[in-house]
Chains A and B, each alone.
Chain A
Amino acid sequence: MSGPGVMGKFEEIMKGRHDYARSWKERTGGRVLGYFCTYVPEEIVYAAGILPVRIMGSHEPQDVTEPYLYGGFCPFCRDCLAQGLLGRYEYVEGVAIARSCVHIYQTFDSWQRHLPVSYSHYLSMPSRVTIPSAAGYLRAELVQFQRSLEEWTGAPIPDESLDRAIDIYNTNRRLQREIYELRRGDSPPISGTQAMEMVLSGMFMDKEEHNGLLQELLAQLPGPGGNGSVGTRIMVLGSENDDTEVIRLIESLGGRVVIDDHCSGSRYFWGEVVPGEDRLGALAARYLEKPPCPQKDLVERHRLEHILRLAQEYRVEAAVLIHEKFCDPHEFDNPAIESMFRERGIPCLTLELDTTVPAGQFRTRLEAFLEMLQLEIV
C-alpha cells in the first residue's frame, strides 16, 4: 500500500472528527451544521460558508436515548442522537435533514427539540425520485432551504459561491470515483477499510481540504494493476454502516472489500452535478438521479441495476449484506438483492448489525463464509 501518510490522515480525521470541526471553527470563525442524511444538498450549506458535517454514532453501547427514541428504532439513529445528548457535537449550531426514513427523522426531531441549536431545517425530499414532477418540487424545496440558511447567517448566498461549492463538490466526487476505480484491478491499491475511511473523513472535512488529500493520494497510488494485497473480492452493501471495524474484520479474514453500496460509501459521492444556469435545478437533478437508497427506489429497482453493475465492474466474487437491526427500508430490499446475487452465482451473507455492539460478534460467521468461499474458489 502506498501513501500511508495520506491514509493515516483520513483515519486521523475520521477518528478525531470533533477536534477537526472545533479547530475549523476556530480557524474560520464559521458555523457548523450537522446533517443526518446524504440527500441533504451540502453544496448550498458550503456556499453559505458553513461547514456541513454528517452526524454519526460512536459504535459504543449507550443508555441515554431511551426517553426520546423508541427502542425499536434502528441502533444507528439512536447512536447518532446519543452523541448529541452526550455533548460530543456541542460545536454543531444547526441541524438539517432531507426526508429519508422515519427512524432518522426522529433523531433529527429530537435533536432540534432538546439540544441547543439555533437553526434546524427539514427538507421534504421526494421519495419518488423518478416522477416528472419531482424535479420542480425538489427545486422549490431547495429554494426554501437556501432562504432559510441565508436568514440564519444573515447573508445572501451569491451565485458565485454556489458555483464554487458545486465545483468543489464535483471535484471531490470525481477524485473519490477515480480512487475507487483503481480497486477494479487485480490487486486493489487500497483496502476496503481505507476506502471507507477516505469517504467518511470527507463527510467531516472542508471538501477543499479533502480534495487536496485525495489528489495527494492519487499521485502516490500505483495504477489499477496495483500492488496491494489480494483476497476474495467482496462487495459490502446495505443499511448505513460507518463501522470500519466490520470491514477490517472481513479483510483480516481473507476478504478484500473492493466496492460497496452504502450511503457511508460510494452512494455518498456517486454522480456529479451537471452545472447549469439554474443552479438549484442542477442540484435537484443530481440528488434525484444519484444511486438511490431503498426509500427512494419504490418502483423501478434502479438500486438493483446499480448494484449489479458495480458487482460486475469490480469483479465481485461474494457479497456481504450489512443490515442494521430494525431497518425496514433495507429489509424489504435484501431478499431481492440476495436472489439477484444467487442467480448469478455470487454467494452472499447477510449480517444483522447492531452498530453499538463490537464487530467481533460476526467473527465466526464471517470466518465460515470466507472459508467456504476460498474452498469454492480453489
Chain B
Amino acid sequence: MSVSDQPVAGDSRERGESNSGWLSSVDHKQIAVSYLAAMTGTFLLGITLAMFMRTELLAPTQLLGDGATFKQMLSMHGLIMVFCCVLPGIPAVLGNFILPLMLGRGNLAVPRLNLWSLRLYLIGVGSFILAAITGAVDTGWELAPPYISSGTAPLILIGIGMHAIGLHLVFTGLNFILTIFAHRRGAASWFEMSFFSWSLFITSILQLIVAPILASLGLVLIVELGGSGLFDPSKGGDPMTWQRLFWFFGHPAIFIALIPSIGVVGEIFSTFARKQLHAPRTTVVSLFIFALLGLLGWGSHLITGGLSAVDSTIFSAMALFVMVPAAVLLVNLLATLVGGALSLKTPLLYAIAFLVQASIGGLGAIFLGSLATSEQLAGTLFETACFHYLLVGGAMTAFLAGIHYWWPIIFGRLYSETKGRAAAALIFAGINITFFSGYLLGLARVFPDQNIYPVTAVPLQWIAGFGALLLCGGLLIVLLYLLSSLLTGRGSETNLWEATSAEWRNR
C-alpha cells in the first residue's frame, strides 16, 4: 500500500511514528484511512436507520413501530449522518490525505493536532452510536427543546458527541489553515494553489467560525438537562434561543459540506476534460462569497416560527442571494467541460451527477428562502428533500467522486471501472427517484416526522422507497468492489488519469 511505500518527509519524529499503531500515528495518510474506516461504519448505521424508516413509510398507518419509535429513528439518522458523516466527510478523509500532497508537503502543519482531531472524532462517533443504542431521543437533528420525552442519558451522550465533533472541526480547520499558510511561506503564490486546496481553506475558515458554537451547544445541552431552564419558558427561558444558536451553526453546516464538494468536483472536471478550471480566480472568489452568504442566512430556517417580520425579510434576502455565487460556480464548472476532451470515467460521472443534483437542491432552497413559499413549505418533506438533494445528491456524491478519483493514490490499487459506472448510474437514479418524490410529497404537505400519513401519498412513498432501494444497492456495490480492490486489486499506474495536479504528478 502506498501508505508504507511513500517516502515520508517532515521531521524525524514524524517519520519515526509513521509506522506506529493506527490510533497513535500522526501520519496524515494513516489518519485519513482511519477516518474513512470509521466513517464508513457510521454511514452504514445511518443508512440502516433510513431503510427502516422507508420500510415503515410503505404503509400510511403504523407498520413496524409506533410514532415515537419512528421519531427516534429519524432523530438518530439525522444526528449520525450530519455530525459523523456529512460535516467531517471530505475534509477529514480526502482533505487529510490529499492536501499535503497537493501542497508538496510531508504532512499537515501540526501532525499531533491532527491525531487529536481523529481521536475527538472517534469519541464523537462513539457517543452518537452509544446514544443510538441506549435509546430514546426524539428531538430531530435540531435537538429542539424541551427534552421531555427523550431520555437524559442518550441526550448527555449526544451533548458529549456534539462537543467532540465541534472540537474536531475546529482542530481540523485550524490545521488546514496553518498548513496552507506554511505552504504560502514557501513562496508559492495564492493562485497557484489547487482549487481543492482553496475549497478546504474556505471550509476551514467557516469551521473556525461556527464549529465552536456546535461544541458549546453540546455542553449547553448537558447543562440544560441539569435543569438550567435556559430554554424553558416556565423557568424564564426561551426555546427560540436554542433555535437561533443551533441554526447559526446548522445553516453554515450545509455550506461546510458543499464547499469542499465543489472543490473535489472542480479538480475532477479539470482532470477528465484535460483543461484548466474555467476562470479560476473568479471561481475562488465566488466560493468565498458563497461561504459568506452561508454564514448570514441562518434565520431563514425560522421564518414560520419565532422571527420578527423584519428579521425574516433580511434572512430571506441573504438566503436568496446565495443564488448569485452559486450560479457563477455552476456556469464556471460547466464551462470547464466545454471545449474539453471528456473521458467519462466513474469519478467524472459522479462529479456531473453532483452538479445536477446540487442544482436541484439549490432550486428547492429558493422555495424555502423566499418568504411567501417558505411559510407554506417549512417543515414539510420539501425541506427534507431539499437538504437531502444538497447533502446526499451533493456532498455524498462528491465524496464518492473524490474517493474514486484518488483511490489509486490512497490505496495504490485499481477498482473495476465497469462496476464503478454501473453503481454510479444506480446511485444517480436512486437519489433522484427518492428525493424528487420527497419534493412532490412536500408540495402535498406531507411532514417527515410522522409515520402516519394521508392515503393519497402512498404511491409517492412507494416510489421513494424504490429509489432508496436502488441507492442502497448502488452503495453496497461500491463498498464491495472497493473492498475487493483493496484485497485483490491490480496496482495503479503512477498518474492514472494523466492529471496535471501535484498529488498525481509527484507520485
**A complexed with B:** no
Please report A residues at the B interface, Cβ cutoff 8 Å.
none
